[in-house]
Structure 1
Amino acid sequence: MGVAASLTNSTAAGAPAAERKPARFALARRTILTPVLLSLLLLAIALITVMTGSRPFNQTVIDVFVRVILVVGLYIFIGNSGVLSFGHIGFTCLGAYAAAWLTINPMMKRGSLPGLPEWLLATRLPYWQSATLAALFAALAALIFGRVLMRLSGIAASIATFAMLAMINTIYSNWESVTGATSSVVGIPIVRVIWPYLIGAVVAIFIAWAHAISRSGLALRAARDEPTAAAASGIDIPRERLVAFVISGAVMGLGGALMAHSIGVVTPDTFYLGLTFITLSMLVVGGMGSLSGGVVGVVLLSALIQALRWLEAGVSLGESTFALPKGVQEIALGVIMIVILALRPSGLMGNREITLPRSSRNK
């Protein structure tokens, strides 16, 4: 009831705007440390990566930053609404293909994707422009789907989002002249510099924070915690869910575009069940109730995945080589998830955010 009460008290119908603004500024001041500290954590990882000068490690950290964007995008909707979505990777797919259409050499597009409109065949933009437009494209798709899906609740909404994912995957797997169907779309300019991915992750974190402290975000969390009380106080629950759905769709589209530029090739199955499972796992393990939980879940599980891959590839121990059997990575991830959730059902962070101790803030 805490969120609902605070929302009602701070935004009551008769409250003057002059009283509401200081309350929102106070909330922003109290919570701004969370996105700042999370951003500094990612910056530290980026600086360490640059100092090592290792290209494989550089690519690994780029993958981590892309996952941060995707998991934060999931948090914006799932964490604030309490509605589990299995379909958000569909927006990642839309963003990735939009980036491909906008950045591949026009001559290559005419040969491999002849069904694209003439203006799109002739277009070639820098990666940062394509990523921005990809986010807007995904947001538009989220608005279209969301106007129907956000009227559902509970398991019905979750199943409907999975149906949306399956629909997008089926269309993109069969629309050969526009998406290449199941064939790989190649020729996407690869961006190996780490900073654009860091910027994308930081932007996603601050978008999530800004939404969480906004009137819409507070209303959505009130509806998550006490739906009956929230509806009785005048909160339009489907509308607030739609706002979060569109914002999260845009962030997922941004992540898809940057993912496409990190690997240089896309297929529909790249953005399907496997990526859905791993991103949801990171959010749940970290704690879907907090922004910090999403970022922590990505960093920890990504480190674990990389360590298991390293062990599967084989480690030289003197004259012998130790290697885990193939498939151990998936089994180990499943076991670790079960153990963590058995011990901490709300995830590692629960509903808590990373911040400074109160004594440090008061100095």
Structure 2
Amino acid sequence: MMGKHAQNKALAYSTPLVLIAILALFAGLVTLTGDKALARMAAETLIRVVLVVGLWIFVGNSGIVSFGHAGYMAIGAYCSAWLTLKPQMKSLFLPDLPPWLAQAEWPVLPAAIASGLLAALIALISGAAILRLSGIAASIATFAFLAIVNTVYSNWEGVTGATSSVVGLARYVDQWVALGWAAAAILAANLYANSASGLALRATREDEVAASASGINMYRHRLLSLVISGFFTGVSGALLGHSIGVLNPDSFYLGITFISLAMLVVGGIGSLSGAVVGVLGLSLLIETLVRLEHGVSIGATSVTLPSGAQEILIGIVMILVLILRPSGLMAGKDLQLPRLGKTLQQKQTTTN
């Protein structure tokens, strides 16, 4: 008979299948509408899934709120630009690149992977210092890292274009490309969360002193989760750049930092499903409010929200969610295959 541990593992591994199926259904329905604006929204939403799931790998398992992940996103985005832009464009916008990089013209997939690896390397280096801290001190240190990255990229004119936008990136990322990476991020996040390192890290999140007394190396597990998290965050930056075709350092600063954290908190920081549900929920709400601000006709009546209503209403929704569901929409629970869950519960009952 299936033991309790095996049952829990089977349920845990059903979660990514459910989440990927939901995202695939979302992408498919948007494609069927034939609406190009909705297709762009879907691609952006799925890129946010890569970002927020990457963020969850570290924040959800360690309990440390990170304000610095947009920095890894910027690193990945600009790395992809350095590798994929045509040499003529780089000589025009980025004249100080080293010759080997100025002449590089990589295919988009290897460039995205390389971008994630560079972000992971920077996460390893920065995390080696930051993760010696805990709690609010570590969170403030991550914000300092974000400020450093933004300052460097906003002033390194010959390499990043400084505050001038870098244009000309191949716009190859649609909802299906983004879905593929979202699926990869979800699978990796679930695999890490159910690994020995992920379980040990969540133990340190619940009680650092008890975990340390049990011989758990908190620093090593935090650093590993940050490196994996940095990889997918860097990839999300590359995807965003190749979705809109333009890069600017301010695209990877406070705005995207707060919206990604908001999505994670609203969905529920305690589960992988919370990260995905938070992205879908807030993204659909944002799209609805944007369209209402531009005006929507219902029969003979036109409904238009005043300018700025979007931010106010999103803030109200977030406050209500946090009041009514302090642990987020998913309340720390994961979505699972209903039939599998029922079957395993029946087996457990029979065993008992």
TM range (shorter): over 0.9
Distance 1:33 1:316 in 2: 42
The answer for the alignment partner of 1:296 in structure 2 is 277
Task: Name the SS of the counterpart of 2:297 in structure 1.
Answer: strand
The answer for the alignment partner of 2:105 in structure 1 is 124
The answer for the alignment partner of 2:229 in structure 1 is 248
Q: Which of structure 1's runs of 4+ aligned residues deviate more than 4 A?
A: 22-27, 317-320, 360-363
Q: Is the 8 A contact 1:95 1:138 kept in 2?
A: yes
2:333 aligned to 352, 358, 362, which one? Answer: 352
AA partner of residue 175 (structure 1): W
Deviations 1:33-53 (A, max 9, x none): 100100010111111122222
Distance 1:113 1:88 in 2: 24
Mapping for residues 1-363 of structure 1, pairs under 5 Å: 28-318=9-299, 321-357=302-338, 358-361=341-344
List runs of 5+ in structure 2 lacking aligned partners. Answer: 348-352
Task: Name the SS of the counterpart of 1:32 in structure 2.
Answer: helix
Number of residue pairs matched by the alignment: 342
Q: CA RMSD in A?
A: 1.6
List runs of 5+ in structure 1 lacking aligned partners. Answer: 1-21
Deviations 1:109-166 (A, max 9, x none): 0111011111111011121111100000000000000000011001100000000000
Deviations 1:159-210 (A, max 9, x none): 0000000000000000000000000000100015322110000000011001
AA partner of residue 101 (structure 1): W
Task: Name the SS of the counterpart of 2:302 in structure 1.
Answer: strand
Deviations 1:70-117 (A, max 9, x none): 110111011000001111111001011111111111111011101111
Q: Is the 8 A contact 1:27 1:213 kept in 2?
A: no
Task: Name the SS of the counterpart of 2:65 in structure 1.
Answer: coil
Q: Is the 8 A contact 2:170 2:245 kept in 1?
A: yes
Distance 2:179 2:209 in 1: 40
AA partner of residue 355 (structure 1): Q
Deviates more, 1:306-315 or 1:351-360: 351-360
Q: Is the 8 A contact 1:97 1:266 kept in 2?
A: yes
Distance 2:81 2:123 in 1: 20
Q: Is the 8 A contact 2:173 2:239 kept in 1?
A: no
Label 1:192 to 1:162 Cα distance change in 2 as closer, same or farther (>3 A): closer
Distance 1:80 1:86 in 2: 16
Distance 1:318 1:44 in 2: 29
AA partner of residue 195 (structure 1): W
Distance 1:214 1:316 in 2: 51
Label 1:126 to 1:267 Cα distance change in 2 as closer, same or farther (>3 A): same
AA partner of residue 148 (structure 1): A
AA partner of residue 356 (structure 1): L
AA partner of residue 48 (structure 1): L
Task: Name the SS of the counterpart of 2:20 in structure 1.
Answer: helix
Identity %: 52
AA partner of residue 125 (structure 1): W
Distance 2:112 2:312 in 1: 35
Q: Is the 8 A contact 1:90 1:169 kept in 2?
A: yes
